[in-house]
Structure 1
Amino acid sequence: MLNRLPVDVNPFKLVEQGRCLAGVMPLQQLPRLVEVVLAGTQDVAVTLDFTRSIGGRPMIKGHIRGNVVLECQRCMQPVTIPLDVPVEVALTTFESDERPEQEGLEAWLVEDERLFIQDFVEDEILLALPLAAKHEQCEPVRKLIEALPSDVVLTESGQEDSAVITKKNPFAVLKDWKKTE
């Protein structure tokens, strides 16, 4: 699978021919993904089968596989996320086409009978990434501070102070305002 994928294709012709594209998508060709991932992320393997759905709609089925390195949102260290993105989209030429959704498929709008493989693959990967990447087990960068009741005061050593702070009501000055009239 060392093949490079084409830049753009006519997906409807590929569906008629029953073609399958398989190859490697270099990371540097995916600019939006490059902004999100860390160093160490490798190229992704892509398999796209241009076929028809059960209802006869032109569609793309396949997989995108690889590993991406993201920043753990707990410990801020690199975390490797394995990708195994199943692709199953129906091709359509107009936005208001509801038939793909009726078949349980996601619609992909094809303009000018051209599908840019790089954009298609990048969109599928970005949709599959976790919202917050994290290790299974890791410690946060900073210690979490538990919320305490507002009337409890801690001393420097972290022990509860028995003295209770009386809060001043910021509206206390208005209490007598109506009485002066």
Structure 2
Amino acid sequence: MAEREAKIEGVAEVSAMPRLNSLLANGDGKIHVSLSFAVDEQRLRTVSGSASGTVTQTCQRCLEPVPVDVEAEVNLAVALNEEQAKNLPRYYDPLIVEAEDIELLSLIEDELILSLPLVAYHEDCEIQTSFGDADEAARTQETKPNPFSVLAQLKEKADKS
């Protein structure tokens, strides 16, 4: 494909990506994929492109579904083994190919998993805590006696003496 400078564009279903799907609230979603294959000036076979779409994760604040935009950029050079991968220019990530075929969907799936946020949440999520609202917590704090007030009184007495 690199020799022919092939380009692949299309839509992949999230439901066809089992590892990504296991991290989501549901398997709905479509990922737009665009990949270009080429041979660069160093005669390295390369794969570059992007994948983007919207998936649904679980909000970590309210536990409701939240849409999350995912986007992955790929800039890979093909290597036949670990030794070749170590010698690639730094601007390429290695794509170690041990067999004749490359599983492109799995490659895109890996990049999308890496692009997921660590914690998904609604920007305007309002949750009720088991501790009540913030105003009530502030009022409770005001009415509690300060445990260090006894030390302040002892210090005052020591200063006067």
Q: Is the 8 A contact 1:37 1:68 kept in 2?
A: yes
The corresponding residue for 2:43 is 56
What TM-score do you get using the length of structure 2 for normalisation? 0.74
Question: Which of residues 52, 64, 73 is equivalent to 1:86?
Answer: 73
Shift of 1:141: 5.1
- TM-score, with structure 1 as normaliser: 0.67
Q: How far has the Cα of 1:142 moved from its partner?
A: 2.4
Partner residue of 2:5? Answer: 18
Alignment partners' CA distance in 2, 1:163 and 1:44: 57
Which AA in structure 1 matches 2:11? V
Q: Which residue number in structure 1 is paired with residue 140 of structure 2? A: 158
CA distance in 2, matches of 1:121, 1:103: 20
Tell me the SS of whatever aligns to 1:158: helix
Identity of aligned residues (%): 27
RMSD (Å), alpha carbons: 2.5
Q: Runs of 5+ in structure 1 lacking a partner?
A: 1-13, 146-156, 165-181
1:84-133: per-residue Cα shift (whole Å, max 9, x none)?
Answer: 32221111110132232x34211111111210122111111101111111
Structure 1 segments (4+ residues) deviating >4 Å: none
> Does structure 2 retain, via aligned residues, the 8 Å contact 1:71–1:78?
yes
Paired residues of 1:58 and 1:91 also in contact (CA < 8 A): yes
| Counterpart-to-counterpart distance in 1, 2:96 and 2:131 | 46
In 1, Cα distance between equivalents of 2:41 and 2:118: 33
Aligned counterpart, 2:64: 77
Residue 110 (structure 2) aligns with: 123
Q: Any conservation in 1 of the 2:21–2:27 contact (CA below 8 Å)? A: no
Higher helix share: 2
- AA matched with 2:25: L
Which runs of no fewer than 5 residues in structure 2 stay unpaired? Answer: 133-138, 148-161
87, 95, 104: which one pairs with 1:99?
Answer: 87
- 1:59 deviation in Å? 1.1
